[in-house]
Amino acid sequence: MRLDKFLSKATELSRKESKKILHAGEVTVNDEVVKDPGLHVDVLNDEVMWVGESLSVATGNRYILLYKPEGFECTLKAKEHPIVTELIAVPELASLRIAGRLDVDTTGALLLSDDGSWLHRVTSPKHEHAKVYELTLANPMDSDAQATAVKKVAEGILLDGDYEPTKPATLAFIDETHARLTLEQGKYHQVKRMMGYFGNKVVELHRASIGHITLDGLEKGDSRFLSAEEVAKF
């Protein structure tokens, strides 16, 4: 790997800023001052230091869990709101992609990675990784309405504009306005459209988990790397 690229990946410096610290003689490779940004660095065996601090870069792909707060877009370029990657302090954010986006006003578990095939395994319905949503409804539903909704959701619903019904899902009511919905697919605005089928509106939506991954230990805006075991379970 080029030395200037290594420095950029190991710190939050841009490639241009990396070249400046090289030209200033602040970087050593195996205890020798190096000013050439094009020098090839063995990321596993060479010791790179910046003003006495040892640097390293992650090898392989990155797998990140973010507790998305409301007010952030799941896009690569900001439109009307800040984007979720602004909450994650790792180099080369532009290479990260999102597995299953959430609306601006929706909170909860969001997985990001630069491993495209892994992201596909997470989101593809055929792999049957359940996603659990906690929702608040605008209008109370009595016991009869709840029973009807639970039955219909378990059978599958043909939503407006779709050619196939939703996959069987599990709906459980906590009270008249709060419920938990477990899905194994991710159609466009699926949770909101499913509740709209019953003449109701979702006013708050939170994704509590994706597969075996929960938000335990995280606050809104926090993120962490997945363990190798967590990654492998997908």
Measured distance CA(224)–CA(60) in Å, rounded = 16
Residue with tokens 């006003």: 105
- Three-class SS of residue 23? helix
The active-site residue out of 46, 103, 114, 115 is 103
| Strand, coil or helix: 64 | strand
Residues 102 and 86: beta-carbon distance below 8 Å: no
Q: What residues pair up with 49 in beta bridges, in sequence order? A: 28, 54
- What is Dmax (Cα atoms) for the chain? 76
Show the tokens assigned to 149: 């909704």
If we measure between CA atoms, which residue out of 170, 143, 173 comes closest to residue 154?
170
CA-to-CA distance for 84 and 66, rounded, in angstroms?
8
Structure tokens at 218: 């995280």
Q: Is 222 a catalytic residue?
A: no
R_g (Cα) of the chain, nearest Å = 23
Contact in structure between 131 and 138 (CB atoms under 8 Å): no
Residues involved in catalysis: 103
